[in-house]
Amino acid sequence: MSVFEHVALIVLLLSSVLCLYRIGRGPTAPDRTIAIDILGTLVVGFCCVMALVTGQEYYMNIAIAWALISFVGTLALAKYLEGRSYDA
Amino acid sequence: MPSLAYALIAVGLAFDLLGCVGLIRLPDVYNRAQAATKCVTLGTCMILAGVAVAGFAGSGWPLALKAILCAAFILLTSPVAAHAVVRGAYLSGVKLWPGSVEDAFAARADDIRAEHAADAAGRQGASCREET
């Protein structure tokens, strides 16, 4: 595992920590929903780098499935947000 | 792994990190959504493109094919999801940042709210009629 791959994984983990901060702190529910969506996209990138690091192709299957499920979950949360009154 | 793949992955990582910094730094949900969604979508697509280049250069062409498929899927779905969340946020009444200069969706949002209220009233009337 080269230095470049170490740096790539560490940068992606740092981005995920920033997203987790927004999920925990976020003043409104849509903030948290957006941050969860972004975290899913970051996990897809993480899986791709892991596929390069380990040379195992099946990590890409995980990435595709994760992208699909994250999209459906975010749309469900968006419909939930639209259907209620929320003052903040 | 060719140097083109290294370059694509490095630029994609920079976009990802800056998008997440925008998610922390910007003042309201609309600013955060536009910064984070655009940057992270492009950044992850560039990482996937770098993986595809590395796969084509090496022996793993199925890996490259899956990376391209995944990139196309993210490019299609991520803006749709962010649009739906932000629309839901506006309709549920999340306020804009006080420093915002324009609110182009306000009139349309009133129309949509009126339609939703009419729908709810119609449903309620129908259920009342069923009861009596």
Q: What is the C-alpha separation between A75 and B79, in angstroms, rounded? A: 11
- Which A-chain residues 6-45 have CB contacts (< 8 A) with chain B? 7-8, 11-12, 14-16, 18-19, 21-22, 28-31, 33-35, 37-38, 41-42, 44-45
Checking ipTM against 0.90, whether it exceeds it is no
Q: What is the pTM of this model?
A: 0.86
Interface test with chain B among A38, A61, A64, by most B beta carbons within 10 Å: A38
- Give B19's contacts in chain A (Cβ within 8 Å): 15, 38
CB A63 within 8 A of CB A47: yes
pLDDT at B128 over 70: no
What are the tens digits of pLDDT across the range A33-79?
999 999 999 999 999 999 988 888 899 999 999 999 999 999 888 88
DSSP state of B97: P
Cβ distance B87 to B31 under 8 Å? no
Structure-token pair, residue B114: 């009126």
What are the tens digits of pLDDT across the range B10-19? 999 999 999 9
Average pLDDT over residues B41-65: 90
Q: How many other C-beta atoms lie within 10 A of the C-beta of residue B96? A: 17
Torsion of CA B74, A9, B62, A37, to 10 degrees: -20
CA nearest B48: which of A20, A35, A42, A74? A42
